[in-house]
Amino acid sequence: MHEREPTPEAIQAIRDHLATAHGRSDFELRRDVAWVSNSPAGALVVYLPESGFVGARFVCKDAVCAGLIFLAGAPTYGHPERNASMLLAHPELSTTLLHGVTDPAERAMLLEDWDRGRLGQLQVTAAHTRRAQSTKKAGRPSVDDRRERCQQFLLARVREGARVADAIEALDGLRTTDPPAYRRCMGGPDIRTPETLRKYWSDIPIDVRNAARAAGAAEKSTP
């Protein structure tokens, strides 16, 4: 994150802009684009690297584009520096969204969900998933079945007091510690990456996740 030189995605965005907006097809990076360590006298564009939670951008010096700032690629959602910047800009998140969440991996996932605007969508997604499950043909294997089985495994572990990261590791670990159980969760021999398992967790409605964490915390505090 925060690369001072233009990223490949930014270079392509600048190249496309110069070609479509100004008819420049003879693009040369170091001649046409200025950045911290490159200051050509005739630069057509100034590259602005990603900073805080503002994605990379560029400014075109052509008079037609005066006052405009163009996007130069998608922000690096989920990056620790971006998450830290969001917390600085929105300190209320610590007492609302992240209240009671101590697992670093879970905090990072919640911040990324919030940053991407997913939190409201998760409730809708969960409702659509439940509706699809209720109408699909009996016995028909599906992605929804696998997701639900994995989610129930993760929720059960968290309710027992496990951290989310440990619950994900335990589910992934079934591949070697209990292959039959792993195949039952996955609906077959196919392997799912830890990243996919983390996505399954983040798809669970936030109130359900919070309830599982609260039950886990109570379990830990019980003598």
Structure-model confidence comparison of residues 63 and 143, the more confident one: 63
Is the model's pLDDT at 121 over the cut of 70? no
Closest CA to 86 of 48, 135, 126, 52: 52
pLDDT of 137 reads 47
Of 174, 148, 158, give the one whose Cα is nearest residue 105. Answer: 158
**Signed CA dihedral, 72, 31, 60, 86: sign only:** positive
What is the reported pLDDT for 125? 54
Rounded to whole angstroms, the Cα distance separating 106 from 133 reads 27
- Kindly report, residue by residue over 40-78, the tens digit of the pLDDT: 999 999 999 988 778 899 999 999 999 999 999 888 888
**pLDDT top residue among 217 and 132:** 217
Please state whether the predicted TM-score (pTM) of the whole model is above 0.85: no
Helix and strand totals (H; E) in the chain: 10, 4
Hey, is 73 helix, strand or coil? coil
